[in-house]
Amino acid sequence: MTELDLSHDPASAVGIDPDPRIGSPADGGNASATAPRRRATNVAAGERAFSVAAGTALAALGLGRRSAAGLAVAAVGGALLHRGTTGHCSAYQALGVDTAHGRRSAEEEVAKRGIRVERSLQIARPAEELYAYWRELSNLPEFMHYLERVEVIDDRRSHWVAKPLTGLGDELSWDAEITADEPGARIAWRSLPGSTIASLGEVRFARALGDRGTDIRVTMEYVPPAGRLGHWVAKMLGTDPRKRMQDDLRRFKQLMELGEIPTNEGQPRGSCMSARG
Amino acid sequence: MRATVWCAPHKVKVESVPDPQIINRRDAIVRLTSTCICGSDLHLYDGFIPFMKPGDILGHEPMGVVEEVGADVDPAKLKVGDRVIVPFCIGCGACFFCKRGMWSCCDNTNTKPRLGEKVYGQSTAGLFGYSHLTGGYAGGQAELLRVPLADVNCQVMPQDLHDHQLVMLSDIFPTGFMAAEACGIQPDDTVAVWGCGPVGQFTIRCAMLLGAGRVVAIDDGADVPERLQMARDAGAIVIDRHEEDVYERLLDLTGGIGPDICIDAVGMEAHGNNLVEQVYDRVKTALFMENDRPAVVRQVIECCRKGGTVSIPGVYGGFDDKIPLGALMNKGLTIKTGQTHVHRFVPKLLEYVREGKIDPGFVVTHRVPLSEAPAAYEMFRRHQDGCIKVVLDPAA
């Protein structure tokens, strides 16, 4: 079993945010934190054969016309040919679609197309206390505002339900399992194969200098799905998932330090419409 | 309830708004008995703080009686019926900063920390009635106030003192005190205080209480003679900047070396030391190329003796021009500043009041019904009718 382990990352060891890009040098490794990385093959074999055949036919037809319209038809044919011979479709890539590969583990999905987000924050409470609250996974929706609830199934497995989004009919949920559990120090989890959103997560609790409490460091990796789900993820996590994660961690800090999350939602305000003054 | 509402620059109204409710379990609702207009409210009034929204309730110097407490308010610290002052800055008492007495730097109470991070690098504490940069909390120029984390923020007061002796503990008394205390005043020090508004008045008196050899007060005698008189009454040497050259006079008073401690109790809307400076800052701020008019900061750095201390209780908002860093560095000055950590100073200052060392009510020139807040803002801003400090009466 592969575990998400940051201990080999020299950047995180010295407290520097590591390069948000993912992917190994062999893969090119040039994808940004918010875009799926470029990859070679995302079109299934049958589709590729069809693309080659249709592309050849269109190219021949278009070139035979010797007109502007014909040239355009030939260009489409050329693109299909390219898609068929290389097995790579830019449109599929943009939509996050992959017909070439079957069911994978969360690690494989994330390694191929994942987004990685990492943040740290200091909390003026002991690590054991923070660990205990986090380990009770049903507490997570208190500060992770994209979650509706987390149902604990057994010691390892849990069922995560996301907040519903208007226009998205079915409940968005997935199963996850705990992959590492070191009391007072570390919790890691991953979604189970077949989940609508493939994701890995880890939180580390490290004693801060002096009596300052605990430095927590959270890493999340997930694969942004296409279509309506992609829309949901974009809306929930925003254009900058690191900021969203920081907001989550801030709420966690407030809950741990104060027992509540300061707010002014629901306080009175004026209208500036009345006649007085 | 009725509340003072900010609608636009130079436009505040007293409106009927819904009563505040307990939202979080550590909230309390306080029925206010006295609530002041602060000099820093004028920065909002004049539109110098760009994070106000029409409808925001103003006010951050309130006191009153606890009317309701949330389920998790510590009964050993606060209960219904307690008479309290409420510090302008909202602390949590549990974060790194509050635990070290830096209450105005609280890490948890600003509800919109991303804004502060963008403007200042890190966000500061939530403040009552002081724009969305500081959390957007409804303020206390109203009949009722919701106080978050009430058991650390409401400061319980004795029953036998007058409101005017206590309400200044919410802001300007601790602000004047912190500005002076941070400088480590020695018995042979000359302390110069720019600005004889309410904060300046408390700074002057606190510098004396802390044992300053001599206090010099600076303001414009043509504009606010009553404020210079109040400083003179406290025992300060007075410089009328309308009549005298401030730099020359200060050097003359200090054997040519300059004051040991120079305190800017004016802040962002200074008038400028000469015509060129006045025009420069007014044009730059009008074009949004500068956020404040930092004329006093410039003069304070110029006048301070080598190796001296500059203290800035005056409020500044953003990015300002022509700050003489060369003088600051080469003269080896120390700078002390910050929003006031009110909670830290309340017990000691209450003791001062009890012992009769100071009667904070000295600064009050006007007490008017809450409904007259708009006129009071205008009077205070224009220095009319000898106005130095206005207390609003929410019950009148």
Q: Does A210 touch chain B (CB under 8 A)?
A: no
Residue of B nearest to A122 (CA): B96
Q: Do B137 and A264 touch (CB under 8 A)?
A: yes
Q: Which residues of A touch B95 (CB under 8 A)?
A: 124, 253, 257
Q: What is the pLDDT of residue A94?
A: 64
Q: Is the pLDDT of residue A18 over 60?
A: no
Alpha carbon distance B218, B239 (integer Å): 5
- Of residues B379 and A99, more confidence is placed in B379
Find which of A123, A252, A258 to mutate to test the B interface (most B CBs within 10 Å of its CB): A258
- Of residues A99 and A38, more confidence is placed in A99
Find which of B92, B133, B151, B377 to mutate to test the A interface (most A CBs within 10 Å of its CB): B92
Residue B345 burial class via C-beta count within 10 angstroms: exposed 0-12, middle 13-18, buried 19 and up: buried
* Three-state secondary structure readout of A73-133: HHHHHHHHHHHHHHCCCHHHHHHCCCCCCCCCCHHHHHHHHCEEEEEEEEECCCHHHHHHH
The DSSP letter of residue B280 is: H
Q: What is the pLDDT of residue B328?
A: 97
Q: Which residues of B touch A260 (CB under 8 A)?
A: 24-26, 72
Q: What is the pLDDT of residue A25?
A: 36
Task: Give the tokens for residue A204.
Answer: 């580390």
Q: Is the pLDDT of residue A231 over 80?
A: no
Q: Does B369 touch chain A (CB under 8 A)?
A: no
Q: What is the pLDDT of residue A242?
A: 84
State the alpha helices, DSSP H only, in chain B: 39-45, 96-99, 113-120, 150-153, 163-166, 172-181, 198-209, 225-234, 246-253, 275-286, 295-303, 325-330, 342-354, 373-381
Q: Is the pLDDT of residue A276 over 50?
A: no
Looking at CA atoms only, how far is residue A249 from chain B in angstroms? 12
Looking at CA atoms only, how far is residue A98 from chain B in angstroms? 37
Alpha carbon distance A151, A227 (integer Å): 26
Q: Is the pLDDT of residue A6 over 60?
A: no
Q: What is the ipTM of this complex?
A: 0.91
Q: What is the pLDDT of residue A127?
A: 98
Q: What is the pLDDT of residue A56?
A: 80
Task: Give the tokens for residue B108.
Answer: 């948890």
Residue B156: name the closest of B23, B60, B36, B28 by CA: B28
Residue type, B231: A
- Please give the average per-residue pLDDT across A82-95, as a whole number: 73
The DSSP letter of residue A46 is: H
Residue A258: name the closest of A65, A103, A125 by CA: A125
Q: What is the pLDDT of residue A102?
A: 55
Q: What is the pLDDT of residue B101?
A: 98
Q: Which residues of A touch B57 (CB under 8 A)?
A: 268-270
Q: What is the pLDDT of residue A211?
A: 93
Residue B24: name the closest of B85, B90, B84 by CA: B90
Task: Give the tokens for residue B97.
Answer: 């900063």
Q: Does A260 touch chain B (CB under 8 A)?
A: yes
Residue of A nearest to B113 (CA): A247
> Which H or E element spans position B162?
none
Q: What is the pLDDT of residue B323?
A: 93
Q: What is the pLDDT of residue A107?
A: 79
Q: Find the largest Cα–Cα distance for chain B.
A: 62
Q: Which residues of A touch B126 (CB under 8 A)?
A: 262
Q: Which of B92, B111, B114 sits opposite A264 (nearest CB)?
A: B111
Q: Does B149 touch chain A (CB under 8 A)?
A: yes
Q: What is the pLDDT of residue A141?
A: 96
Looking at CA atoms only, how far is residue A33 from chain B in angstroms? 21
Q: What is the mean pLDDT of chain A?
A: 77
Sequence-separated contacts (24+) of B93-96 with Cβ below 8 Å: B93/B149, B93/B152, B93/B343, B94/A124, B94/A257, B94/A258, B95/A124, B95/A253, B95/A257, B96/A122, B96/A124, B96/A212, B96/A213
Q: Which residues of A touch B15 (CB under 8 A)?
A: 270-272, 274, 276-277
Q: How many other CB atoms are found less than 10 A from the CB of residue B385?
A: 10
Residue of A nearest to B129 (CA): A269
pLDDT in tens, chain B (396 residues): 999 999 999 999 999 999 999 999 999 999 999 999 999 999 999 998 889 999 999 999 999 999 999 999 999 999 999 999 999 999 999 999 999 999 999 999 999 999 999 999 999 999 999 999 999 999 999 999 999 999 999 999 999 999 999 999 999 999 999 999 999 999 999 999 999 999 999 999 999 999 999 999 999 999 999 999 999 999 999 999 999 999 999 999 999 999 999 999 999 888 877 888 888 888 888 877 778 888 999 999 999 999 999 999 999 988 888 899 999 999 999 999 999 999 999 999 999 999 999 999 999 999 999 999 999 999 999 999 999 999 999 998
Looking at CA atoms only, how far is residue A267 from chain B in angstroms? 6
Q: How many other CB atoms are found less than 10 A from the CB of residue A85?
A: 12
Q: Is the pLDDT of residue A19 over 70?
A: no
Q: Which residue has the tokens 């950590």?
A: B341
3-state secondary structure of B85: strand
Q: Which residue has the tokens 């409490």?
A: A213
Residue type, B145: L
Q: What is the pLDDT of residue A274?
A: 58
Looking at CA atoms only, how far is residue A13 from chain B in angstroms? 23
Residue B2: name the closest of B15, B13, B11 by CA: B15
Q: Do B15 and A263 touch (CB under 8 A)?
A: no
Q: Does B72 touch chain A (CB under 8 A)?
A: yes
A110-127 pLDDT, tens per residue? Answer: 777 778 899 999 999 999
Q: Which residues of B touch A258 (CB under 8 A)?
A: 26, 92, 94, 108, 149
